[in-house]
Structure 1
């Protein structure tokens, strides 16, 4: 009797565990863009398949397959990792929870169906309740495999659905021959530039921009299908890429006549492998422009400045002196109220004031001004819009909070150049302590350690207190801090952002400035 009760409890615990675990696995697959190769890379890096709970489950499964061991003991051993994992999943909090899109529901449903098939097959073969219990434990042990297989099975379905969406977006765009399309890409800075350009062009045109980080082909398609209006005059299309050819795919759909390349840097090197591949991919936008179009490219980056452009008119821009730059900032002054700068170009020279801070933000503002001038927005209306531009959330935005603290929020997708400029802004703050909270930078491939070590050196030269979050880049950053001579008592290494906030609460005082530099997603520890 006790054996049957424990077996039923084991079945219930196993099924509950799978329902929760499959949801978490799907969340991680979604954060890896539903790409099996990226998901498998995350599995290898995270050690999720060899966690303590998983190893206990593997051991329990082996014990369950030993017939000479009493069933009661086998059930109890199997229940231990299942109950531990259920508790962990129920109390877990995620920075970016699973979004239940239609695609996510299809994958989840397929994974659950595979689970049922495995359990049903075990019953048909053995006709024994305990064998079903073994199958349930095995399903949890192999949950990653089931998720990968579910995604693989649905590829033809997703391709067919996506093709229909593509054709619909193509139809809409073809029905708007007068629509001006501005493509924006770059290793970083493209989202900020998109927002700045949207605000300036809105002084004259009815503008649509891709919202949030809708910078993939499917994100662009969704924007066109759901948000494009017959009266839209300008479409600002942010174009992201993780692989060669991604930007060309978007250009083949939207056919931009104006292109902006904000930067070419060592971002996403895990997928691109070399900086040359990054350059090639970003310039797919420029290569796709018609001969009557124009490209605006940022000459502050060597891999932009060195790229020859001869298929289209090319206007280069820069912060500071640059012989080839058509648009360049000749003076720039930061204050707590923002930035005053002077821009020279074909129009002559003009002064601007903006609430934005940091050289990187001004660098992203220049092409927005240049494109607006190209599209015949009057200079005075541009100057007015620049003064009204609001900081983009999590991208070097400045705010003051109760208690007299100044917060510089640069939590989105940090990179070597952006983090350096953010630290320069923090270093320019003269009142109170300068504090940085950061987990470091990711997706830098073989240079991950090197760049985070350099980041640590830069931190040591720029701040009074450093709070290093998580394990992923901890050793590299701490090494850089030590080499640069930062006092140990000024460095705090913590495991979670919650712990960082607790430390911050004990050391921060009125007048201090806190920089939040990068925020790793759930796929990193």
Structure 2
């Protein structure tokens, strides 16, 4: 073997390393799109990471052009060094939602590696090592097709595995006929409501809930198989949906007797296309309830208040009093008083009476609305006012969902970074308005998954920012133009009414959250309040 041969082999090894790193990234993005190739392909059309693929394609072309000339050895060496650099760089990038090597992810990755090895080996055998080099770089450039191929190849295997897990979950549920299943869904608010309800019901019952964002059918199946025990009395199931039929599928598995619908809004319009499709999908929960079941519905939303439910005997509608669609509500939040560290409120009941005051550590009217849903469910299951009052007082803030912290430097941080929507963003700004000691600062990349209304709602959000805060820090490019245009428009409207009110308001655009953090560290002062509104997942950076 010659020295030249070993250089080519080393170059091929480094090219394959880089191709494997590219496969790992595409697997991460496929995972964030729920392993659904249709959603992954939609993401590809707006992919901001395409530069890496262009670099890989150019590297492949260099191999093709120069490797058959007297410069081939030098070209191979250069490509090998670049592949090593790009591969290490790809592994070092930090993501908000890193790849989780679940059993399914491992299977896909292994199949992808086998495909890589097969293509490179066949190219080497048939045409030589230079063509193997070209094949490796071509696979790195075409990594989306490669990951889709691995997912498609494994579909029969995944279906068989999923069916076995689902059948096992059904068996476990059949063995617990006394278990009360409560389903929670909504365009937003469902995760917070789940946590608040869990805390309330735990005062009297043995309760288990779906953890984290385990709100898909397979997430619920995993919860049943790993967390549900014979001694549990209540199972709280968060139900998410990316398309019509998703919630009905979960209901067919768990058969809820109580259903809570927290919101129907213009979230995920990119998937659902119309608000009517969102409404139909969320109400799959109510439609699945038995005749003697209980539907708990948030009438703050028009597409809930106007939707009749006829298959259930007991229907309780509730409101926080923030909309006009409140005339049919059975329960409502009243007498709200915000303090620095706690909030007090009362609940108006169907007979027109009011409860004694409740105290909570939470801020924001939508958090009180979510507590109210939990209160109704607790009352339905026979809990006393005293039990629920104690539980509500002990509810902890859910991380990244309007979580308020006071730093040692005298700065207040409102963390609402989990996600954002038009309704929730407006309420977060209302909470921010209650902090008047110093400047009010908002850090945000805007709102996502709003389909054709994306620009409209982010422009409106920009106008709201101009009114609500002193400094807006807009992160990334995805919604930058719409937010800044709205901010300028809102500032101009304020100036027409009071020039001094508008002149000190500023908007700053930065590329990343790291840049935003540096900017905040340089300019924040004691007494300031900083609201972090949304934090885009990696698929939207």
Q: TM-score range, shorter-chain basis?
A: over 0.9
**Mapped pair 1:364 → 2:363:** no
Work out the CA distance in 1 between the residues paired with 2:9 and 2:15: 10
1:339 aligns with 2:343: yes
Cα deviation, 1:54-104, whole Å, max 9, x if unaligned, reads 323323323433445732354256446524422421331111211111001
Q: CA deviation at 1:387?
A: 1.1
Comparing 59-68 and 377-386, the one that deviates more: 59-68
Aligned counterpart, 1:62: 61
Whole-angstrom CA distance in 2 between matches of 1:70 and 1:273: 54
Question: Aligned residue for 2:317?
Answer: 316
Q: TM-score, normalised by structure 2?
A: 0.93
1:56–1:81 contact (8 Å) kept in structure 2: no
Provide the C-alpha distance between the structure 1 equivalents of 2:23 and 2:434, rounded to a whole number of angstroms: 48
Q: Would the aligned equivalents of 2:12 and 2:80 in 1 still touch at CA under 8 Å?
A: no
Q: Which residue of 1 aligns with 2:391?
A: 385
Alpha-carbon distance in structure 2 between the residues aligned to 1:278 and 1:427? 31
Q: Is the 8 A contact 2:342 2:363 kept in 1?
A: yes
Q: Are 2:536 and 1:520 equivalent residues in the alignment?
A: yes
The answer for unaligned runs of 5 or more in structure 2 is: 492-501
Per-residue CA deviation, residues 131-161 of structure 1 (Å, 9 max, x unaligned), is 2211211221122211110011111101100
In 2, the alpha carbon distance for the partners of 1:56 and 1:26 equals: 19
**1:3 Cα deviation from its structure 2 partner:** 4.2
Q: Distance in 2 between matches of 1:255 and 1:113?
A: 42
Aligned to 2:151: 151
Residue pair 1:78, 1:137 contacting (<8 A) in 2 also:
no
Residue in structure 1 matched with residue 235 of structure 2 by the alignment: 235
Partner in structure 1 of residue 330 of structure 2: 326
| CA shift in 2, pair 1:4/1:168, >3 Å | same
Asked if 2 retains the 8 angstrom alpha-carbon contact of 1:57 and 1:81, the reply is no
> In structure 1, how many angstroms separate the alpha carbons of the residues matched to 2:190 and 2:372?
12
Partner of 2:507: 491
Q: Over aligned residues, Cα RMSD in angstroms?
A: 1.6
Q: Is the 8 A contact 1:3 1:71 kept in 2?
A: no
Q: Name the stretch that deviates more: 357-366 or 73-82.
A: 73-82
Moved more, 66-75 or 20-29: 66-75
In structure 1, the partner of 2:95 is 94
Does the CA-based 8 Å contact 2:187-2:263 persist in structure 1?
A: yes
CA distance in 1, matches of 2:93, 2:84: 14
What is the count of residue pairs matched by the alignment? 522
SS in 2 for 1:407: strand
The separation in 2 between residues aligned to 1:54 and 1:84, in whole angstroms, is 15
Distance change in 2, residues 1:60/1:77 (3 Å): farther
Q: Quote how far apart the aligned CAs of 1:311 are.
A: 1.1
Pairs within 5 Å for 1:215-364: 215-312=215-312, 313-320=314-321, 322-346=326-350, 348-350=353-355, 351-364=357-370
The one of 388, 401, 409 equivalent to 2:407 is: 401
Find the residue that maps to 2:538 and give its secondary structure.
Answer: coil
- Scaled by the length of structure 1, the TM-score of the pair is 0.96
Shift of 1:384: 1.2
Question: Which residue number corresponds to residue 15 of structure 2?
Answer: 14
Shift of 1:28: 1.1
Q: CA deviation at 1:482?
A: 0.7
Q: Secondary structure of the equivalent of 1:484? A: helix
Partner of 1:42: 43
> In the alignment, what sits opposite 1:72?
73
Counterpart for residue 140 of structure 1: 140
Point out 4+ residue stretches in structure 1 off by more than 4 angstroms: 486-489
Q: CA deviation at 1:415?
A: 0.7
In the alignment, structure 1 segments of 5+ residues that lack a partner are none
Q: In the alignment, which residue of structure 1 is the partner of 2:498?
A: none
Q: Is the CA contact (8 Å cut-off) linking 1:239 and 1:250 kept in structure 2? A: yes
